[in-house]
Structure 1
Amino acid sequence: KLQEMGYDNVFIETVEGWPSLETIIPKLKAKKIKKVTIMPFMMVAGDHANNDMAGSEEDSHKSILEKEGIKVEAYIHGLGENEAVRNVFVERANAAWDALEATGQAAE
């Protein structure tokens, strides 16, 4: 979806799923990208973000990218730190509650 919107330099990969880092590295190399900023696409930047993604261990995504010759900066902030994202959650929670009340299914 991001590429459809014109963001051809944004890639999303997962820690334990698809697309994996191994599917992203060839795309970075094909575009001759030498520097990336990694950031979690998670509500909270916890263990996965701090260790698996941006940690200093040799199997972290940061370390793997650096071994591939790509300079890595890490932006370790969860989406939940963004007020606009929090507002979307509140709006959707309120809409869900309103829908439950309309059907009489809301808890007293």
Structure 2
Amino acid sequence: MENVIAKLKANQAGKVLLAPFMLVAGDHAQNDMAGDDEDSAKSQLEQAGFSVEVYLRGLGENPYIQELYVQHLREAIDQPYGHKKH
């Protein structure tokens, strides 16, 4: 987080949006990223003087990501043994 905070300060960011880059916003996102413990990303950013907004939605809740995921599954199902057809 030290490097992230340094870059945010160098870019004079005042507000930070925390969002998980994971399919599901589970325990790690809720506790380590957005929790109230002093070592969470949110707490560290707030202690460094940033206004922090948390968006606790996994990528799997995004309709575009869902569509892409289904498309990849269909392609994988159509390929024997998971290999591309030549």
Give me the TM-score of the superposition, normalised by structure 2.
0.89
2:46 aligned with 1:66: yes
Task: Work out the percentage of aligned pairs sharing the same amino acid.
Answer: 50
| Count of aligned pairs between the two proteins | 83
Letter of the 1:66 counterpart:
E
State the match for 2:32 in structure 1: 52
Q: How does 1:1-108 map to 2 (within 5 A)?
A: 21-100=1-80
Q: Could you tell me how far apart the structure 1 residues matched to 2:2 and 2:16 are?
A: 15
Instruction: Show structure 1 runs of 5+ residues with no match.
Output: 1-20, 104-108
Instruction: Show structure 2 runs of 5+ residues with no match.
Output: none
Give me the TM-score of the superposition, normalised by structure 1.
0.72
Q: Whose helix fraction is larger, Structure 1's or Structure 2's?
A: 2
Q: Which has the higher contact order (CA 8 A, sep 6+)?
A: 2
